Amino acid sequence: ETGVTQTPRHLVMGMTNKKSLKCEQHLGHNAMYWYKQSAKKPLELMFVYNFKEQTENNSVPSRFSPECPNSSHLFLHLHTLQPEDSALYLCASSQEYFQISGNTIYFGEGSWLTVV
Amino acid sequence: QKEVEQNSGPLSVPEGAIASLNCTYSDRGSQSFFWYRQYSGKSPELIMSIYSNGDKEDGRFTAQLNKASQYVSLLIRDSQPSDSATYLCAVNYSRTGNQFYFGTGTSLTVIP
């Protein structure tokens, strides 16, 4: 069993649809992240939650809406997406966000999103 | 602007050889350095972390850090076909939070 699980693994949605990605971590961590991975680009940090509070929003369009009901669960709500939003969306967790050193980030298996 | 640069490759080495992967970073405030391996269609998997100058060895993997030159590398000894993957360099700049900055990755192919 992986420490960070994501569902669904694959999602195809139309531009007018509303869908959600779900992430759950079983590592007892307090920080959770959403990253976007597109071909030929570095991993892009989208959102960070630390102890359920959003601490980072890297200028992400409002058609992506995160939700963190508790330290173990993270959602990414999707609505009116564009084809260029098609990518691998990775959830990750770490012990804390403001830890000075020794902080390692662990990824889930990712959700492949295709917007048609 | 905090940047992490990697040669995208592809890098091809014969089985049993040493694979050398390199990474440079722009911000001298960076404090922690990581190498992730990502198989095609899979998520990144942590394989090495290094925090201080010098070498750190773990099995067939050796990470090397030179903060003065802002350079971190990964050596894979006795390369195996199962090492074929994309290797991501990540740099952690912790001054304002646990921000991880990733390179674009180097694609490694180990030829049997």
Tens of pLDDT, residue by residue over B83-95, are 999 999 998 876 6
* pLDDT confidence bin for A101, thresholds 50/70/90: low
Looking only at the bridges linking them, the beta strands covering A44-50 and B54-58 are unpaired
Contact (CB<8Å) B34/A110: no
**A76 forms bridges with which residues in the sheet?**
A21, A66
Query: What DSSP line would sit under A40-65, residue for residue?
Result: TS--EEEEEEETTEEEEE-S--TTEE
Contact (CB<8Å) A103/B88: no
Contact (CB<8Å) A105/B97: no
The residues of chain B scoring below 50 in pLDDT are: none
CA angle B22, B23, B24 (to 5 degrees): 135
The average pLDDT across A4-28 equals: 94
pLDDT score of B98? 66
Is it the case that residue A2 has pLDDT exceeding 90? no
Residue from the list A98, A108, A109 with its beta carbon closest to the beta carbon of B98: A98
* Nearest alpha-carbon partner for B105 in B23, B1, B19, B41: B23
Choice between A56 and A13, residue whose per-residue pLDDT is larger: A13
Residue from the list B31, B51, B97 with its beta carbon closest to the beta carbon of A97: B97
Choice between A97 and A68, residue whose per-residue pLDDT is larger: A68
CB contact set of A83 (below 8 Å; sequence gap of 6+):
A15, A115, A116
Reported as type and span, the H/E element at residue A69 is strand A64-70
